Amino acid sequence: MSLQFLPAGTADALTLTGISKRSFETDVSVGGPSKGGPPGYMSVPFHTKMARMKHLYKLTDEGLIVGGAVLSLKDDALNIERIFVAPECFHKGYGLFMMKEIERLFPNVKKYMLDTPEWNIRTNSFYNKFGYKEVRREKGLVYYVKSTG
């Protein structure tokens, strides 16, 4: 496995949109009420905008895009807005690799933040195992923080 986690360009937006759509739509198998995802999850303009703003990242394996993330840095806090992996690549360590790379790429961050739906047993379990602590629940979402200092 030759994995790389890199900033994505606007040329990657179409591919990442397709992966995002397929990934988030599998959530019905882990408690999701219907097919869907976070705002913009299946929008090429959204992913293009995120790339232009330098918030979009791609995960490649042997040069092939297999996943992505939307990250927002403000001061010393990083909001992991979303991470996603192509469904055919689930359970192969890609999500774990991305989370480790996010922390490696942003070494000066004091606080990593993210949220995920309460019903999503897959993501809630994943973030707990990775050291994220639940800080609150609000409007069907679980908010997590991981502090570094």
In the chain, where the domains are located: 3-109
Residue among 62, 64, 97, 73 at smallest CA distance from 83: 97
* CA gap 70, 82 in Å, rounded: 5
Note the pLDDT tens digit of each residue in 28-68.
887 788 888 899 999 999 999 999 999 999 999 999 999 99
- Pair 28, 34: CB distance under 8 Å: yes
> How many CB atoms neighbour CB 17 within 10 A?
20
Comparison of pLDDT for 124 and 62, the residue scoring more: 62
- The third-level CATH classification (topology) of the domain covering 3-109 is Aminopeptidase (3.40.630)
- Pair 95, 102: CB distance under 8 Å: no
Give kind and range of the element (H or E) at residue 133: strand 133-138
Torsion of CA 18, 21, 26, 28, to 10 degrees: -160
**pLDDT score of 138:** 96
Residue among 139, 73, 62, 68 at smallest CA distance from 110: 73
**pLDDT score of 31:** 78
- Pair 132, 46: CB distance under 8 Å: no
Q: What is the largest CA-CA distance in the chain?
A: 40
* CA gap 135, 56 in Å, rounded: 26
Note the pLDDT tens digit of each residue in 4-33.
999 999 999 999 999 999 999 988 887 788
